[in-house]
Amino acid sequence: MRRTAFTLVELLVVIAIIGMLVGLLLPAVQQAREAARRMQCSNNEKNLVLALLNHESANKSFPPARMGGDGTLPNGNTQPGDQRYGSSAFLQCLPQLEQQALYQQLNDGKIFPAVSDSTTSSWTQVKNTATPLLITRPSVFVCPSSTAPPTLESNANYATGTYACCAGTHGPSDSGGPISFKVKYENDGVFFYWRRIQQSEIKDGTSQTIFLSEVTDAEKAGSQNTWFQGSRHLDCFRTTDNPLNTKYEQGVVCNMYGYKASGAFASEHTGGAFFAFGDGHVVFLSESIDLKEVYRPLSTRAGNEAVNGEY
Amino acid sequence: MNCRLAPFFILILGFVFFTGCGDGRPKRYPIQGVVTVDGQPLSGDFVGSIRLIPVAGGRPASAQLDSEGKFTLGCYDAEDGCPAGEYKVEVSVSEQKNFKMRYLVPPRYWDADKSGLTVTVEGKNPSLTIDVKWEPQDAKYRKMVINMNE
């Protein structure tokens, strides 16, 4: 007898085989997509570190992680309240990131004075013109693998970012306290409050000094990371005090403001994070990296450590 | 279908399902403990944490102290335990109020290289007791109030 159709068993077998083949293929496709996102993330970091280096060429020093202080400055230096700008290093580098127009509209990179001064009204001027712009989120500040929402939980007008500068090793566990002078103004990396570090101060060599890396949970209060503001343990200011990929509420935390902040770098790429160094190279460091002998020494600008080349 | 082959199929299926499990990280043992100061338990309003730095190098384990000074160590995630090995210990405990800080544990204990505290984790530890002491050399820190400048 001639059959004119498939039997049910044949059909089920074919479906099962196709299902298995698709099941084998899917993880490979997802992996390829994650590989592309990782490449994009590494490329973003490269562009950011090149912008910092170009800023140094133009201004003879690197931009601080936070443009101004937010209290008394070290060594008897003073600064009027309305000039203690909270601008991040990335905001100061916008011209080097081909965002000249945004830079000019954000008061030439001078926003968020720590103390508002009603007589000069600089805060009001900035506030009125800047607020709609602070929701912009240039793609160079965002890792494609990041799951953070585009704005902060606490302020739907402030855009989040993925990257933060490295201030050094003095973080929440510093014996002077989590927001001490040492953490904010005398840290041992390259980017912290107010002080402009010069190339000649990076005695460990720029290829041995971490400039920036990634953070996660950028929308949460304890891990807040806008791309335009600089603040200790949070926005664009992280340390190597806690190990890589320590969640923001874990490890040793700063707990002064009603939320916990570990100030650690973290990444959504499995097993480690991308780090951009001062000579422009970007590497993926494993989260199992030795804290005391490798990770922290790589974050200092003049620690005089000999770090083994393999990490 | 031949039923004698069924166990093999189950074996192969099980293999397919469970390959790739495990996180590729060192084995961690659940470790709990308590920090005491001069033999007395901590109390009151404080911010405290403990960190174990491996002597042989690697990723530290850490924990925050609860209101009685008790802790559960975590290495890669919160409270996921601590790999076996020898560790140098750092303990930081302070009172932090209104941007003023007071030491509840002398600052030399805040740094693993100066604390002199060590523990060995073998995987079958009873709970750890870390006792720190105020020595005469620490006297000046006892009353010190640090202004945090904000």
Residue matched to tokens 């989120």:
A137
- Within chain A, strands assigned E span 163-168, 210-214, 237-239, 272-277, 282-286
Q: Is the pLDDT of residue A119 over 80?
A: no
DSSP, res A229: B
- Between A208 and B18, the more confident residue is A208
pLDDT band at B130 (very low <50, low <70, confident <90, very high): very high
Q: For residue A61, what are the CA distances in angstroms to A201, A299, B100?
A: 10, 18, 34
Number of H helices, E strands in chain A: 6, 5
Name the percent of chain A lying above pLDDT 90.
Answer: 74
Looking at residue A60, what is its pLDDT? 95
Under 8 Å CB-to-CB from A91, ≥6 apart: which residues? A103, A106, A109, A111, A227, A228, A229
CA distance A94 to A101: 9
Mutation target for A interface from B62, B94, B98, B100: give the one with most A CBs within 10 A. B62
Domains belonging to chain B, first-starting first, are: 27-147 (2.60.40.1120)
CA A195 to chain centre: 19
Looking at residue A120, what is its pLDDT? 47
Residue matched to tokens 């509209």:
A105
Chain B residues closer than 8 Å to A173 by CB? 49, 51, 90, 92, 110
Beta strands B70-72; B85-97: pairing state: unpaired
Report pTM: 0.89
Looking at residue A2, what is its pLDDT? 66
Chain A residues closer than 8 Å to B59 by CB? 243, 287-291
Q: Is the pLDDT of residue A121 over 50?
A: no
Q: Is the pLDDT of residue A78 over 90?
A: no
Chain B residues closer than 8 Å to A250 by CB? 62, 64, 74, 77-78
Q: Is the pLDDT of residue A91 over 70?
A: yes
DSSP, res A287: T
Side chain identity at residue A201, one-letter code? E
Looking at residue A123, what is its pLDDT? 46
Q: For residue B78, what are the CA distances in angstroms to A244, B46, B73?
A: 14, 20, 7
- If you average pLDDT over every residue of chain B, what do you get? 86
User: Residue B94: helix, strand or coil by DSSP?
Assistant: strand
CA distance A292 to A298: 10
Tens-digit pLDDT profile for residues A269-304 = 999 999 999 999 999 999 999 999 999 999 999 988
Structure tokens at A94: 């916008």
The answer, for B85 touching chain A at a CB cutoff of 8 Å, is no
- Within A108-169, strands assigned E span 163-168
CA distance B112 to B106: 13
User: Residue A18: helix, strand or coil by DSSP?
Assistant: helix
Under 8 Å CB-to-CB from B118, ≥6 apart: which residues? B55, B86, B87, B88, B89
Q: Is the pLDDT of residue A306 over 80?
A: no
Domain spans, chain A: 8-299
Element (H, E) at A26: helix A8-59
- Between A211 and A69, the more confident residue is A211
- Between A99 and A179, the more confident residue is A99
Q: What is the mean pLDDT of residues B66-76?
A: 94
Question: Do A177 and B110 lie within an 8 Å CB cutoff?
Answer: no
What is the radius of gyration, based on Cα positions, of chain A? 23
Q: What is the mean pLDDT of residues A115-141?
A: 67
Looking at residue B86, what is its pLDDT? 95
Tens-digit pLDDT profile for residues A176-187 = 888 888 999 999
ipTM tops the 0.95 cut: no
Number of H helices, E strands in chain B: 3, 12
